Amino acid sequence: MALFLELFLGICCLGACGEEADKEWYDAYPVICHALGVTEEGDTLTNSREAFERNYKLGQRVFETDLAITSDDVVVLRHDWDSDLGQGKSFGWTDENKEIPSCETFLAAPILGKYTPMTLLDLYQIMDEHTDIYVVLDPKYDPDVNHQFSRIVSTALDNGYESVLDRVVVQIYYEDMYDEVEKVYPFRNYIYTLYYIGFSSGDEVGSFCQEKGIPVLVMPYTWVNQDICQSLQDYPLQLYVHTVNEETDARNMAGFHVDGIYSDVILPDQMEKILDGG
């Protein structure tokens, strides 16, 4: 009897896991964990190993991370080279001079004096170990998309991690960027974010996404209104908004029937309850 029960439970678990695995990431998870999420100490925007580890344990499975390139052409997890983040002194920065550091210098300087910096290769290794996570890349606008994405792709290919690229979600900022990225590598997952170019019209944005097979549209939550939502209703798009950290704002977005949010602090199960009216 015990053996039968164990087998029965095992089959049920396999069925449930398989059903979840069959879903696309945007159908399974209503939260994209912004900059790898808030740390235990309450710090945001760190893109640190500690932030990832904490939020993975809390149930986050879709993570967004910022990318920058060091002086020796290594892709690392950092929002930009303007913010100090407690690393400036180690970088040798002054008010007059903020030279981009080497990868070695970047990794040797704890973020805010306490968190572990990471390279994109470190993140690919994590993705290889945690096969249930997706990562949205935010490399920021760069006029040289070919170089930017060549480094993003070669970091995987040169180190035996091509398989993780199927779980990389490329965030594009303008229409031509899609084709520019595709010339480098045929990524499986794309989203179209509008914070760089603004919202033109539902038909223009919707038809572009439909033509390219892009399933997710992203914009700041402060832009969302009834007119925008109405203009997009004829297109098969999921709408995600950023960055939502207050439950009242999340509930307001649920009122507009958004599909998901970027957040530093709100967890997927919390957002699911909000979207279900709980």
- Report the relative pairing of strands 189-193 and 168-172 from DSSP bridges: parallel
Q: For the segment 206-236, what is each residue's pLDDT rounded down to a tens digit?
A: 999 999 999 999 999 999 999 999 999 999 9
Distance CA 111, CA 131 (A): 27
Residue 243 CA from chain centroid, whole number:
12
Strand partners, 217: 192, 239
The token pair that represents 193 in the structure block: 């974010």
**Residue 6 pLDDT:** 45
What value does the mean pLDDT of the chain take? 93
pLDDT at 261 over 50: yes
pLDDT at 80 over 80: yes
Looking at residue 188, the DSSP 8-state letter turns out to be S
Looking at residue 9, the DSSP 8-state letter turns out to be H
Q: For the segment 168-183, what is each residue's pLDDT rounded down to a tens digit?
A: 999 999 999 999 999 9
> Between vectors from CA 242 to CA 101 and to CA 18, what angle results, nearest 5°?
95
- The answer to whether residues 77 and 83 touch, using CB atoms and an 8 Å cutoff, is no
pLDDT at 115 over 90: yes
**Residue 3 pLDDT:** 41
Q: For the segment 131-170, what is each residue's pLDDT rounded down to a tens digit?
A: 999 999 999 888 999 999 999 999 999 999 999 999 999 9
Q: Name all domains of the chain by residue range, CATH numbers in brackets.
A: 29-275 (3.20.20.190)
Q: For the segment 10-57, what is each residue's pLDDT rounded down to a tens digit?
A: 444 444 455 556 799 999 999 999 999 999 999 999 999 999 999 999
The token pair that represents 132 in the structure block: 């249930």
